[in-house]
Amino acid sequence: MVEFDRGPTARLAGLLAQVPGPPDASAFWADWGPVFYRGRLDGSARVLVVASDPGPTERIAGRSLVGDAGQRVQGFLGKLGLTRSYVCLNAWAYAVHPSRALAMRDRLDDAEQREWRNAVYDQATGDALQAIVVLGFMAREAVRLWTPRPDVPLVDALHPSNPEEDEVLESWRAAVARLRAIVTPDDDGDNTGPTYGTVFAESDYAAIPRRDLPFGAPTFLGDDAWVRALPGDAHNAVSRPRPDDEHTLVWKAPR
């Protein structure tokens, strides 16, 4: 059977369509529009992952945490034995300019933003939830503002794109150890393997499952192993070229 993401229910789609616009358009890549989620929206998720905002690969896929950072997160979920029972959301549905991130963290508490975001978090989770993972300061603030939130353990870890790789690895190593004692693996998952070494290895990444992506997505979308294998320090097949990054994306396919 060909697997693909069939999208949100009509009820949740109606809520997502009510997304507030950015509180300050100059602080966001607003012209590209919002990106909302990746994973299960039917209440079966055992882990909710909250990150900061979508990047260029996420805009191409129309799903959250799909690029290099998302493939690291998928590897993280795999170490918990989760192959499908998760949902990934963001603090912001719009991509934030990094130079404005701290200022926009304070805007997460704008009433319109907070109420809509909390309603999405509420509808996207259910009784199966066993843990919430927040990745970075933006996610931490968004979840702090989620009241009342489910009474499950909250695990705070560094964002996968944090440049201090050794600190990220230490943070994720501790998070995996804690979550393995909390989260029930999927039937086809394994939570007994190694965690992390001193650098991110290719084995710490995982391709985004087809079930998380829309029907018709190219087979290489969500799997940038071929990019990481090239000489240089490129990690993503999709980029925002300057100076026209507000209106142009460059997407490369493997040869």
Q: Does domain 10-251 have CATH number 3.40.470.10?
A: yes
pTM over 0.95: yes
**Domain boundaries along the sequence of the chain:** 10-251
Amino acid at site 214? P
Q: For 176-206, write each residue's pLDDT tens digit.
A: 999 999 999 999 999 999 999 999 999 999 9
pLDDT at 82 over 70: yes
Q: What pLDDT is recorded for position 103?
A: 96
Neighbours of 41 (CB within 10 A): 24
User: What tens digit of pLDDT does each residue of 222-238 get?
Assistant: 999 999 999 999 999 99
Alpha-carbon radius of gyration of the chain: 17
Q: State residue 157's pLDDT score.
A: 98
How many Cβ atoms from other residues are within 10 Å of residue 99's Cβ? 8
To the nearest whole percent, how much of the chain has pLDDT over 70? 100
Six-digit token pair at 201?
């290895």
pLDDT, tens digit, 9 for 90 and up, residues 12-51: 999 999 999 999 999 999 999 999 999 999 999 999 999 9
